[in-house]
Structure 1
Amino acid sequence: MKRRAILYVLLFYFASEVIPQYRFPVQEVDSCPKNQWEWYTAGARLNCSYDENNILQYLCIPNKNITTLIEFCYDRTMELIEKGNCLLLYPPGNLTQVSCTKFRVGCPEQDYLSSDIFIYLYCLKINKIHVIDVTLPLHLPTLV
């Protein structure tokens, strides 16, 4: 039974696509957690730590090209994100704020912690065929 459990862990580890251009392990995912419970469950699955403010260091956000969602355990203190911005991850592991004020709906209307981005589903919605252009107000994804 122990061997089977170890095998499952190894299969999960090697089946996950780790992207090498970052300073910490980053995995592509089809979707990000949609609520706090799912967020903490995903953080526990990745064995993420807590920062000095006791905030879980799990994040799931789009990559710099907004072509895929990536999840990871952030290696720094969770940041305060200004209202009117979403987050992207740039290599080697920098959180970057990008304006979403041209979104018709879904752009954060108040400052928030990066760990609370799951509240702003439009910041986490990408379309792998037609990439979101945050500068175009008419090009918004639909929530599934």
Structure 2
Amino acid sequence: MSMHNRVLLVILGTFLFTIAESNEIKRLDGYKFPVYSTPFCPRNESEWSKRSSFLNCNKTNGYTCLPNENFTELLEFCYNQPWILIEEGYCLYLQKKGSYVDSYNCRHFLHGCHNTSYQSIRIFEYPACISIGNGCFLAEPSCKSSPKTTTHHPKTENDKDDWFLVGILIGIIEPIVCFLSFVLYSNCKKRLPQI
């Protein structure tokens, strides 16, 4: 294998590793069970089921997506219950110390505080409880949004999947192109008179 082809393979491998790594979720330390940082919570039942399956949650340990205790990032995890009852006028968050779900009064929110209780598996229907930024819920009167705001609707899971597929396709096509280029180069070199 020529040096040129080796360099191309190293570049390709680095590129594919970078794409795969950027699509990986980050497991966080300090919790009693696996907890992962996520850029957004699912926005519908289909995405909820997909993330639940991805984390291997089950009927006993149900998938949950909530803010952390500082309201600075969203977390997804399989909790020790199938679902949690979210009472009227409260949002939930995950406490790191003790790894338990706690509640936050949302009655002072400008909008989005729910006036009925619901199961945590329906939290995507109440986005005010998962829209955070600057250490606060965005619906709070004192909260100022910024470019680092995390809400319930940034990039979709499908967008990440699309980029991953692009990386895979490039990983498949590039070696083929390199091989064909090498064959063409070899054939042309044989046909050209030596100078």
Q: TM-score range by the shorter chain?
A: 0.7 to 0.9
CA apart distance, 1:48:
0.5
Give the 4+ runs in structure 1 shifted more than 6 A: none
Partner SS, residue 18 of structure 1: strand
Does 2:134 correspond to 1:125?
no
Cα 1:77/1:47, change in 2 over 3 Å: closer
Cα 1:110/1:87, change in 2 over 3 Å: same
Q: Which amino acid aligns with 1:22?
A: Y
CA apart distance, 1:44:
0.7
Q: Which amino acid aligns with 1:40?
A: S
What CA deviation, in whole Å up to 9, does each residue of 1:23-66 have, x standing for no partner?
11011011111111111111011110113xxxx70011100010
Does 2:45 correspond to 1:40?
no
Does 2:91 correspond to 1:86?
yes
In structure 1, the partner of 2:166 is none
CA distance in 2: counterparts of 1:75 and 1:31, whole angstroms: 21
Q: Which amino acid aligns with 1:87?
A: L
Structure 1: which 5+ runs fail to align?
Answer: 1-7
Q: Is contact 2:68-2:94 (8 Å) kept? A: yes
Cα 1:136/1:37, change in 2 over 3 Å: closer
CA distance in 2: counterparts of 1:135 and 1:97, whole angstroms: 16
Does 2:114 correspond to 1:108?
yes
Q: Is contact 1:68-1:126 (8 Å) kept? A: yes
Cα 1:135/1:106, change in 2 over 3 Å: closer
Partner SS, residue 116 of structure 1: helix
Question: Which among 41, 61, 65 is matched to residue 60 of structure 1?
Answer: 65
Partner SS, residue 104 of structure 1: coil
Which structure has the highest helix share of the two? 2
Task: State percent identity of aligned pairs.
Answer: 34
Cα 1:19/1:108, change in 2 over 3 Å: same
Partner SS, residue 47 of structure 2: helix
**TM-score, length-scaled by structure 2:** 0.58
Structure 2: which 5+ runs fail to align?
Answer: 1-16, 154-195
CA apart distance, 1:115:
2.1
RMSD: 2.7
CA distance in 1: counterparts of 2:50 and 2:25, whole angstroms: 17
CA distance in 1: counterparts of 2:118 and 2:140, whole angstroms: 23
In structure 2, the partner of 1:139 is 143
What CA deviation, in whole Å up to 9, does each residue of 1:1-41 have, x standing for no partner?
xxxxxxx9xx66xx432112111101101111111111111
